[in-house]
């Protein structure tokens, strides 16, 4: 490495956040990047560890060449760092913002010291490339004459489309929504991922020859079997969009919504009218409870705060995680740790307390005679291990509580792909209802149809979706050329 002692000489320095009180007033990205000199200092902390677990199976799913581009950043070779990053990742502008960074929890330096700021370095490399004008359309020099239909414009489908287009095939992406991006567009709020950046990136793909058909629901507007007839190969990359429900008494009350109903409508209204059209679920002046403690739950917190909710609680049925690694999560595995995300920090700033309540289960939703939600009933739960080491949950007698609520958002994860398309194509499904296709091959029981991303593997990370899209593109290319 350019500075062998960098990890000894310099402390880890994360990008800064705008103050919660300031950022809660808008939906702009809240991260403030370091300047180039500070970023080179952070890149110098990459320690030439010999065996870089950051890019192993425990770390980066797309096998980013992390030590190489860290060294290039430190030495001021920004263009070379950009080209090295683009070798493995189609969308570093997205992963550099929304990925939970398993690369950093697998960093060898992290065994004894704060890990290298890999995610922030990645975001800086690609943002710098846009600023310098290096991100430009690069159309393929020749065409194979083969046509591929990609169903779904999320990170998996778009990664596959990008790879297949660069390989010279004619690619058409079908998206049922009015804008491209899937989860990237409507599942992740603008303050985490600026939608102008999403549109800019996909605009480059369109300039490179990828055809996009929005407002086109395959299975309704276009029959799936027709795509199989019209195209040489079809990729199902629709995501896992069936939300997990909470079937307790009172679920039908007005005011109980799936998280994606809330987040998607908010972003669509924000982009269409800066929220002036009113076509979204407003949390202004409302008592809000979010059920589910993952990233989507946190995004519901941040969005509710920006609307102006008057109270905010976040329920999680699991116990509070440890602040450090335990025997259950040894290095270099990705641990479940207790940490404050942006929504939690904003809630603390506004209401003076962390909104999270752990080891709690919802038993019933309460409402008035107009069918409107007024609150809910919970019970505490206790977690213990049985003789085989498996976790068991039990309700704590006498711990029932009643909470006031005007809005409840269910952020409980997803169960698999919607089945209209799957059934039309006659695709086999696995035990979890996902499209059945072997990882590494991605081919379904229909020889012309492939599956990738959350539709195949179940709910997962954006970076895994990119991995799957790239892998499926490789196999489709082999199929077409054979």
Tens-place pLDDT, residues 79-113? 999 999 999 999 999 999 999 999 999 999 999 99
pLDDT of 2 strictly over 80? no
Specify the pairing of strand 373-385 against strand 401-404. Answer: antiparallel
- Please check whether residue 463 is in contact with residue 451, taking contact to mean a CB–CB distance below 8 angstroms: no
Share of the chain above pLDDT 90, in %: 95
What superfamily would CATH give domain 147-241+415-481?
FAD/NAD(P)-binding domain (3.50.50.60)
CATH code of the domain occupying 6-132: 1.10.1060.10
Residue 57: band (very low, low, confident or very high) from pLDDT cuts 50, 70, 90: confident
Residue 449: band (very low, low, confident or very high) from pLDDT cuts 50, 70, 90: very high
Per-residue pLDDT at 366: 98
Per-residue pLDDT at 1: 66
The mean predicted confidence, pLDDT, of the chain is 96
- List the chain domain ranges: 6-132, 147-241+415-481, 256-410
Per-residue pLDDT at 387: 87
Mean pLDDT of the region 258-283: 98
Per-residue pLDDT at 406: 98
Residue 389: band (very low, low, confident or very high) from pLDDT cuts 50, 70, 90: confident
| CA-to-CA dists, residue 270 to 102, 194, 280, angstroms | 31, 12, 9
**pLDDT per position as a tens digit, 317-350:** 999 999 999 988 999 999 999 999 999 999 999 9
- Please check whether residue 406 is in contact with residue 399, taking contact to mean a CB–CB distance below 8 angstroms: no
- Please check whether residue 411 is in contact with residue 291, taking contact to mean a CB–CB distance below 8 angstroms: yes
Q: For the sheet containing 170-174, what is the strand order? A: 211-213, 170-174, 147-151, 233-236, 449-451
**pLDDT per position as a tens digit, 11-34:** 999 999 999 999 999 999 999 999
pLDDT of 286 strictly over 90? yes
Three-state secondary-structure class, residue 224: helix
Per-residue pLDDT at 442: 98
| Domain 256-410 architecture | 3-Layer(bba) Sandwich (3.50)
CB atoms within 10 A of CB 246: 17
**pLDDT per position as a tens digit, 358-382:** 999 999 999 999 999 999 999 999 9
């Amino acid at each position: 490495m350019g500075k062998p002692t960098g990890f000894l000489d310099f402390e880890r320095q994360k990008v800064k956040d705008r103050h919660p009180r300031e950022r809660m007033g808008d939906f702009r990205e809240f991260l403030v990047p370091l300047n180039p000199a500070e970023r080179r200092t952070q890149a110098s902390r990459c320690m030439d560890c010999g065996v870089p677990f950051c890019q192993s199976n425990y770390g980066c799913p797309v096998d980013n060449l992390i030590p190489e581009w860290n060294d290039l950043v430190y030495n001021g070779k920004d263009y070379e760092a950009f080209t090295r990053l683009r070798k493995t990742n189609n969308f570093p502008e997205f992963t550099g913002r929304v990925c939970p960074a398993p690369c950093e929890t697998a960093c060898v330096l992290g065994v004894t010291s704060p890990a290298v700021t890999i995610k922030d370095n990645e975001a800086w490399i690609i943002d710098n490339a846009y600023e310098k004008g290096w991100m430009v359309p690069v159309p393929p020099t020749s065409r194979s004459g083969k046509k591929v239909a990609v169903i779904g414009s999320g990170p998996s489908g778009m990664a596959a489309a990008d790879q297949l287009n660069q390989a010279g095939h004619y690619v058409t992406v079908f998206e049922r929504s009015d804008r491209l991006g899937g989860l990237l567009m409507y599942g992740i709020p603008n303050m985490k991922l600026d939608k102008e950046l999403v549109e800019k990136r996909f605009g480059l793909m369109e300039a490179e020859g990828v055809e996009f058909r929005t407002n086109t629901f395959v299975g309704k507007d276009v029959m799936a079997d027709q795509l199989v007839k019209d195209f040489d190969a079809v990729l199902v990359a629709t995501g896992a969009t069936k939300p997990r429900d909470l079937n307790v008494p009172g679920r039908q009350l007005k005011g109980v919504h799936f998280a994606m109903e809330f987040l998607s409508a908010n972003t669509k209204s924000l982009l269409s009218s800066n929220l002036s059209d009113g076509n979204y679920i407003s949390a202004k002046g409302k008592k809000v409870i979010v059920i589910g403690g993952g990233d989507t739950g946190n995004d519901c917190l941040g969005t509710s705060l920006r609307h102006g909710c008057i109270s905010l609680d976040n329920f999680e049925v699991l116990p509070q995680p440890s602040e450090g690694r335990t025997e259950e999560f040894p290095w270099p595995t990705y641990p479940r740790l207790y940490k404050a995300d942006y929504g939690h920090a904003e809630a603390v700033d506004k209401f003076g307390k962390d909104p999270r309540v752990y080891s709690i289960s919802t038993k019933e939703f309460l409402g008035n005679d107009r069918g409107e939600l007024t609150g809910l009933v919970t019970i505490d739960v206790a977690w213990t291990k049985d003789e085989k080491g498996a976790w068991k949950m039990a309700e704590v007698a006498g711990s029932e509580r009643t909470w006031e609520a005007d809005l409840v958002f269910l952020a409980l994860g997803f169960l698999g792909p919607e089945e209209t398309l799957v059934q039309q194509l006659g695709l086999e499904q696995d035990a979890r209802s996902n499209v059945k296709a072997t990882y590494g091959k991605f081919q379904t029981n229909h020889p012309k149809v492939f599956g990738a991303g959350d539709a195949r593997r179940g709910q997962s990370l954006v970076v895994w979706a990119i991995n799957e899209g790239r892998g499926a593109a490789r196999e489709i290319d082999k199929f077409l050329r054979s």
